[in-house]
Structure 1
Amino acid sequence: MINAKTEKPFSGIISITKHGKVQYLTIKGFANKEKKTPLERNDQFVIGSISKQFTAALILRAYDEGKVSLHTPIRKYLPNLKLSWADTVTIHQLLTHTHGIVSLNKALSFRAGTQYAYSQIGYDLMAQILESVNNKSFSVLADELFKKCVMLNTFHPDLKKYKNLVKGYSEQENGKLVFETATFENYPAAGGFISTVDDLIKWNECLYSGKLFKANTFEMMKTKQPLAIRQHPLFGRTEYGYGITVDDKEGLLQLGQTGYTPGFISMNFYFPKTQTSLIILDNFVWYPEELDKAFKYHTEILKFLRNSLK
């Protein structure tokens, strides 16, 4: 499918691994479209909401260390927050998008813990909480986590250590693909980390081995949480654990997340039964206003893999 002749070609890396060994790998397209620089395996991409897994993992590790409570109002960790909702919103609600925060200076859109609304700001607040309880910057804390997982090419964007970041492109109304300048407008904790296909393979091995957390904490992360149910633009009804989606339809457990940020599309799903990872990193965003079309290549590949695993 990705090799079909089309005016809207796929540009990116697709990897399927089982038990940590590569079963399928294809690399197609350009790291720099203007210079016709071909993509390479060690190229870095912005991974969008896959970043939320990193932030959730850091919070849960802080929980294991007794530095935070998941059900204590966040005022305890961020005393300078101005509005009264800081006395009711909890880290659990930040993790599960059930907090109702739309702005630091506005009232909640609903009473905390009563509804679901997919959010970026909640993950930024968790980054601030992590800085408060650790007396370190969020970027340094993330770097320490990546080193623990031997992910030497994954970075918080503020560190400026990335050397192989590809250019991301978005389709314009006239159908032309242009270099995207708004890629990093999202909160890094929610969608701004930079990584490679091989580092995300390592991440899945590190995360799903359970070695990052206590056993009960890991179970919480991959357990469907009450109210954490989204009408996803690609998948319809989608249920969340902490930082990841939890899908057990058709008797096949699938954990992970998609990612989108201007200029980049990504997908990282893990199937525990067979220890299979699907990772897709893409730097050509066609149909940016229609995500079902933008993710067409990715969802079709996911569908094919799921059928082969059932």
Structure 2
Amino acid sequence: MMRTKILFLLIFFTSFFSLANQIKSKEIDKLLTQYHQLKQFNGVALISHKGKVLLKKGYGKANFEWDINHTVEGKFKIASITKQFTAMLILQLVEKKKLKLDEKLIEYYPSYRADTGSTITIRQLLNHTSGLGNFFHLDGYKAVEARNHYTLDEFISKFCSEDLNFEPGTQFRYSNAGYTILGKVIEQVTGKPYSEVLTEQILNPLNMNNSGFNQQHSVINNRVAGYERLLNRLEHPSFIDMSVPFSAGSIYSTAMDLYRWDRGLAENKILSKPLTKILYQVTEHRNYAAGWLVDNYPEERFGKPLTRVHHGGMIPGFNANISRVLEDDTLVVLLDNTGGAPMTPITEKVLSIIYDKAYEQPELRLSQKLYNMIIEQGTSASIAWYKTLIAHDEGFSERQLIRFAYELVDANEKQAATAFLTLNAVLNPNSKRAQHALKSITSL
């Protein structure tokens, strides 16, 4: 009799939680569909809770020219999410006693410039406190240099060997150069190409068979095409040679493979538990650890304290995000091939659904609202409405307003762009940026 009651209760609670998960799955699907209809998400999502997949689905087109829909098999560039794989490879070498985190860079990369390499540690490269800069911010880099192919040594010599911006360990500065150098360290220590070590130590053990290192000329089945979404159309993105992002951003993957990555981390399949904890140990300077950002949510946000470890990735034509809630084995993977999807708001709304919390409904971006008003009612009406937003402190920051003006130029609305930048110059009379932007637009 007792055994029968226990069996009944087990079946009841299993059915109850299964039904609850189905309801959450439908609500998440509705949310993502809304974002897709607003043209703010075009890609693939995978959501899991307590290790079980709640939703895996594609939204929109993997290739607009051929009218091909997204499927969960689509392979996306994941850009800077690559960094957590590089960090894992470094910690695996630490576990094998082939490398020490607090040893100087010069010990593992003797040909690097000695004056800086003798002051930077491997740990500082992992958490972006080395003092190295970010080559993507160099003048003319995106327009010219990112299109060129380099050997790794050429690239490091030209873009990752500058003078330090600060004494190592004293500040935070996000550095793709630092993670490029970590890729070189992996090659130096193992005697193998980074891509080979990645495959042997992570991809194969976790059965991530649809992931790999993005070689520029390789033919890759189910590769998703990337686009840039403008205010009034889609365009092909700027070209970037994949030798450039290297170990800082050259991996491609699928939603399911990133789920396998999550399971590998949660179950310590490829790294011991003590060393896995280092992946999430932040510095005093920023909530950045080793390839992961770490956010601690207070109890009032989702009903209990939660730790979200996450990282985004952005490269021309794509943006991606992976978020993991450590306490509950919750995973949110978002892969987009039109660039600029609002990954953090989407993720936090998904978490609100999972934890039964209220959330604000998605709406059009302010830039799109203003553009639509320009088209439908004219520039004057759009400016007038924007002034009411300013009065309620709901307008753009100066930087955002300038960016919007350039988006208007791309949408063939130079007159409107000039009007908004003229307003910006009035609002910020002492801003050199405002004057420069207005002069640049009017001279086009």
- Aligned partners of 1:190 and 1:141: how far apart in 2? 15
- Aligned partners of 2:160 and 2:256: how far apart in 1? 37
Letter in structure 2 aligned against 1:152: N
Aligned counterpart, 1:299:
344
Letter in structure 1 aligned against 2:64: K
Aligned counterpart, 2:333:
279
Larger strand share, 1 or 2: 1
Aligned counterpart, 1:123:
179
Q: CA deviation at 1:215?
A: 2.6
Letter in structure 2 aligned against 1:193: I
Contact 2:42–2:336 at 8 Å: present in 1 too? yes
1:194 maps onto 2:239 in alignment: no
Q: CA deviation at 1:9?
A: 5.0
Letter in structure 1 aligned against 2:83: K
Aligned counterpart, 1:10:
41
Cα deviation digits, residues 81-132 of structure 1 (max 9, x gap) = 1251000101100000001113434210111111100110111101100000
Q: Secondary structure at the match of 1:148?
A: coil
Q: 1:6 to 1:196 in 2, by over 3 A?
A: closer
- Aligned partners of 1:225 and 1:208: how far apart in 2? 22
Letter in structure 2 aligned against 1:188: F
1:162 maps onto 2:162 in alignment: no
1:58 maps onto 2:116 in alignment: no
Q: CA deviation at 1:309?
A: 4.5
User: 1:114-263, aligned counterparts within 5 Å?
Assistant: 114-144=170-200, 145-158=202-215, 160=218, 162-172=220-230, 175-184=232-241, 186-227=244-285, 229=286, 239-250=287-298, 251-263=305-317
Contact 1:2–1:9 at 8 Å: present in 2 too? no
Letter in structure 2 aligned against 1:65: K
User: 1:73-112, aligned counterparts within 5 Å?
Assistant: 73-102=104-133, 103-112=159-168
Contact 1:83–1:104 at 8 Å: present in 2 too? no
Q: Secondary structure at the match of 2:81?
A: helix
Structure 1 residue ranges, 4+ long, deviating more than 6 angstroms after superposition = none
Alignment coverage as a number of residue pairs: 290
Letter in structure 2 aligned against 1:23: L
For CA contacts below 8 A with separation 6 or more, give which structure has more relative contact order.
1
Contact 1:44–1:195 at 8 Å: present in 2 too? yes
Contact 1:267–1:279 at 8 Å: present in 2 too? yes
Letter in structure 1 aligned against 2:65: E
Q: Secondary structure at the match of 1:26?
A: strand
Moved more, 88-97 or 254-263: 254-263
- Aligned partners of 1:308 and 1:36: how far apart in 2? 32
Q: CA deviation at 1:307?
A: 2.2
Q: 1:274 to 1:94 in 2, by over 3 A?
A: same
Q: CA deviation at 1:275?
A: 1.1
Highest Rg: 1 or 2? Answer: 2
User: What is the TM-score normalised by the length of structure 2?
Assistant: 0.62
Q: CA deviation at 1:158?
A: 2.6
Letter in structure 2 aligned against 1:295: A
Contact 1:44–1:194 at 8 Å: present in 2 too? yes
CA RMSD of aligned residues (A): 1.9
User: What is the TM-score normalised by the length of structure 1?
Assistant: 0.87
Cα deviation digits, residues 174-209 of structure 1 (max 9, x gap) = 743112243545422111210000000000000122
